[in-house]
Chain A
């Protein structure tokens, strides 16, 4: 990550990825990773750089997802219009929310975003005439192949990384970081902190909203439980941010790769490895373990939060120096 060629190599790899891996499953995983890169970058902008921790990324994600779905189911437009419109609608939600809730600081703001998440989940569940409630909305997918979705997801991920990078290098970026470091000092230096927190939140909401709409297009089905999920979206967004590295450009990328891998390892029981061991050895014990492991992905998320915060508070990219030191000093691999 230190050398400028690293991201470039990764980009080249990602561009030719669908040509190398033609199996739908790997392409699907990669699409998820790319979506999480975008969501993680959005989260990182408001939380990592501006220091206002967003616990409710799912609110914006879900609004984007529902915008796309409703465009298709109610207005019979293409769900792809949801990408720009979902992003804009998320901003339209973020604006009044930020205006009200940025009078709260630190953890209190974080909790307000959690409340926002819950409010939207309730609305989507209760307002059945519009959203069909828990039944969810089915959208016809445009493409059968995963490749077009892959490139759209890649474009979104690149847009979010380049966008965040651009913003952070600009004057705004310095304002954001100054707010994170000391809001009162920033205010007394003449920075309109409310205004710049709003800018940061709206940019984040836009990125997350776009990804939500992309999710609808790609998965073809959404319901309130999935897109407004606290664990699978909001907490996952936080994990992607903190595992990779808070307040770093490439942190969310690293985090997205790791978190999607962790999620998938638990969901499939070590990519079917445990199942295979169970079959090969014929231990009934192994099947029980496999069953428990596949149920344990939320548990693993929780444990990961605890371990990362205790030992790698700045994430893998942020604490890269520390990790490297451990590896260099003692030849043994560090845990």
Chain B
């Protein structure tokens, strides 16, 4: 029972971060209608930003959120403006050229990181990285708990932004019907840039929060891109609430898989779940709730 509870806690905490990754992806998917295959790579870039700030300036990883998020926001905007928006006007046989473009961006980002930092594993070791506190015999990793708290705050902040502000409303409008939104006077190209920025900033937050308990190397982006994709499929494409459920589900599935099946299978669990969801509830959790 103790092992079970411990696994449950670890899964939920990890799920909080996964939700953050998934929400960014699902926002981009909703507004642009494309899958951002550079999502994990954005996270990798943010992790390197955090690493650099921590290593050379000694800034606490959690404070670097204030720098990593804005810088990824800008990176996202620039990529959308100069690489993805021009593709709207390009006439191509292949409809998925935007997705292919994000693959190219992902490769370039990874290789640039490899040039600068080489392929070595890096980590950020803080005083609280490996400490834990206990509640009723269950250990909570301090770093992961803080990360979970910040992830929760950011998620609520995002929902407030999407529901209450004008810009948030415009984003939701473009996501529901791009042409109609444009007719209502929404500058959809600008909205797309901002959405890409927000998505990148959210995944940057996840990367920064994950770094104290994880390690870092240039190829780390790929697995997280796939996780982000699995989360969005689980939650229902383009659904932000679904992404939270998807994130927690994936976190739980991975930690239960690691405990009860074997560490080797941690990465495969997500992929198997993904196929099962496709088979039995295509459309993800969103379809179950009809929200």
Contacts and interface: CB of A to CB of B under 8 A. Distances in A.
A302 B106 contact: yes
A242 B100 contact: yes
Given A47-B94, A313-B91, A313-B92, A305 B100 contact: yes
Given A231-B107, A238-B100, A299-B111, A246 B93 contact: yes
Interface stretch (A70-78, A100-108, A213-221): A100-108
Contacts of B229: 111, 114-115
Contact of A108 (B101, B233, B265): B233
Contacts of A303: 104, 108
B108 A115 contact: no
B105 A306 contact: yes
B268 to A, nearest CB: 5
A274 interface: no
Nearest to B99: A107
Nearest to B109: A302
Contacts of A313: 87, 90-94, 97
A100 B278 contact: yes
B112 A299 contact: yes
A306 B101 contact: yes
**Most chain-B CB neighbours within 10 Å: which of A106, A305, A314?**
A305
Given A107-B34, A112-B278, A309-B100, A314 B105 contact: no
Contacts of A298: 107, 110-111
Nearest to B279: A100
Interface in A227-253: 230-231, 235, 238, 242, 246-247
B94 A51 contact: yes
Interface residues of B, number: 45
Nearest to B111: A299
Contacts of B101: 305-306, 309-310
Interface in B184-242: 222, 226, 229-230, 233, 237
Interface stretch (A31-39, A118-126, A168-176, A324-332): A118-126
B103 interface: yes
A303 B109 CA distance: 10
A198 to B, nearest CB: 16
B137 interface: no
B95 interface: yes
A302 B278 contact: no
Contacts of A296: 111, 115
A263 B280 CA distance: 42
Interface string B59-103: 000000000000000000000000100110011111111011101
B103 A305 contact: yes
B166 interface: no
Given A107-B35, A111-B229, A119-B268, A302 B107 contact: yes
Interface in A48-93: 48, 51, 53, 55
B2 interface: no
Contacts of A195: none
Contacts of B105: 302, 306
A318 B271 contact: no
Nearest to B115: A292
How large, as a class, is the contact surface on chain A?
35 or more
**Most chain-B CB neighbours within 10 Å: which of A242, A301, A304, A313?**
A313
Contacts of B237: 108
B216 to A, nearest CB: 18
A171 to B, nearest CB: 21
> Binding site of B, secondary structure by majority: helix, strand, loop or mixed?
helix
Contacts of A126: 264-265, 268
Contacts of A295: 114-115
A110 interface: yes
B86 A230 contact: no
A314 B91 CA distance: 8
Nearest to B278: A100
Interface in B5-58: 34-35, 37
Contacts of A238: 100, 103
A118 B94 contact: no
Contact of A53 (B94, B222, B264, B268): B94
A310 B282 contact: no
Nearest to B36: A107
Contacts of A108: 35, 233, 237
Contacts of A118: 226, 267, 271
Contacts of A111: 35, 37, 229, 233
B3 interface: no
A48 B111 contact: no
A115 B276 CA distance: 13
A119 B271 contact: yes
B101 to A, nearest CB: 5
A115 B97 CA distance: 19
Contacts of A231: 107
A112 B107 CA distance: 19
Nearest to A307: B104
B111 A110 contact: no
Given A122-B271, A298-B110, 13 more contacts: A106-B95, A106-B96, A107-B35, A111-B229, A115-B229, A115-B274, A115-B275, A122-B267, A231-B107, A238-B100, A296-B111, A309-B87, A310-B87
Lowest 9 A-B CB distances belong to which pairs?
A305-B104, A302-B107, A313-B92, A299-B111, A302-B108, A306-B104, A53-B96, A107-B35, A107-B99
Interface of B: 34-35, 37, 83, 86-87, 90-97, 99-101, 103-108, 110-112, 114-115, 222, 226, 229-230, 233, 237, 264-265, 267-268, 271-272, 274-275, 278-279, 282
